[in-house]
Amino acid sequence: MVDYPGLLSAVVFFGGCNFRCPFCYNVDLVLPERLSKLPDLSEEEILLELKRREGFIKGVVITGGEPTLNPRPLRHLLEMIRAETTLKIKLDTNGSRPKILKELLEADLLDYIAMDFKTRPERYPELGGTWQEVEKSLTILQKANIPYELRITAVPYFVSQEDLEAMLPWLSLAPRVALQRFMNELPSLNPDMPLGVYGPEELRTFQRFLEERIGGEVILRNV
């Protein structure tokens, strides 16, 4: 009910990720030794289930892990959904594969994109990521003709007001910014790191700060 803004949706998870965010709670999808123990669904099984639900749901969210690490099965699945259903398609991504993102947009296989903006650019190596690729994806999104949002998981260790200040040049270009509460009650990739947690009022303070500084919509989730 919350994964696709405004649409009741099904969620399809792709396993594997090229980042190692300490606050990630999809641990089973990120660590290869745990991912290997999860059962796989074929594209045909997924499509059959989506078609069975069609009429009740209006959208499908492709998330992970990081879906763009598997470009061929990802594209094939999206093509099947496009051809055989009327469902709107949303992609969740960390922005690390701009070439794949561009190809999917050019093929008209996406209706909405949520891209993570995890912290200030110079701190991306702490997450195992490369900012230069993420920045390319941001540029692609700005030129896209579909709605998108930048999604910030508000982890105190990685997202302070100073970090948000450094992120403003890119946040100010987005039509929507989503601030998400860090759900520290769930097991994370690095449970020993003192990541901290923000309360509702602190998150609302960040929301007001961003609303004063950028032109797009700023929403709170999981507060």
Specify the pLDDT at position 200. Answer: 95
Where would I find the H helices in the chain?
Answer: 27-30, 32-35, 43-53, 71-84, 98-106, 131-143, 161-171, 200-213
pTM comes to 0.96
9-221: CATH topology is: TIM Barrel (3.20.20)
Nearest residue to 3 (alpha-carbon basis) of 48, 45, 62: 62
> What would the two tokens of residue 157 be?
């260790």
Whether the predicted pLDDT of 223 surpasses 90 = no
Q: What is the band of 135 on the pLDDT scale with cuts at 50, 70, 90? A: very high
- The predicted-structure confidence for 101-121, as pLDDT tens digits, reads as follows 999 999 999 999 999 999 999
For 17, counting Cβ atoms within 10 Å of its Cβ (0-12 exposed, 13-18 middle, 19+ buried), the class is buried
For the segment 201-205, the average pLDDT, to the nearest whole number, is 97
Strands 112-116 and 148-154: parallel
Q: What is the band of 195 on the pLDDT scale with cuts at 50, 70, 90? A: very high
Task: Considering only residues 191 and 81, tell me which one the structure prediction assigns the higher pLDDT.
Answer: 81
In what order do the strands lie in the sheet containing 176-181? 9-13, 59-63, 88-93, 112-116, 148-154, 176-181, 217-221
* Token pair 């987005």: residue: 174
For the segment 109-136, the average pLDDT, to the nearest whole number, is 97
- The predicted-structure confidence for 16-72, as pLDDT tens digits, reads as follows 999 999 999 999 999 999 999 999 999 999 999 999 999 999 999 999 999 999 999
Domain coordinates in residue numbering, the chain: 9-221
Specify the pLDDT at position 116. Answer: 98
**How many residues comprise the chain?**
223
Q: How far apart are the first and last CA of the chain?
A: 15
Asked if residue 180 lies in contact with residue 221, where contact means CB atoms within 8 angstroms, the answer is yes
Specify the pLDDT at position 186. Answer: 85
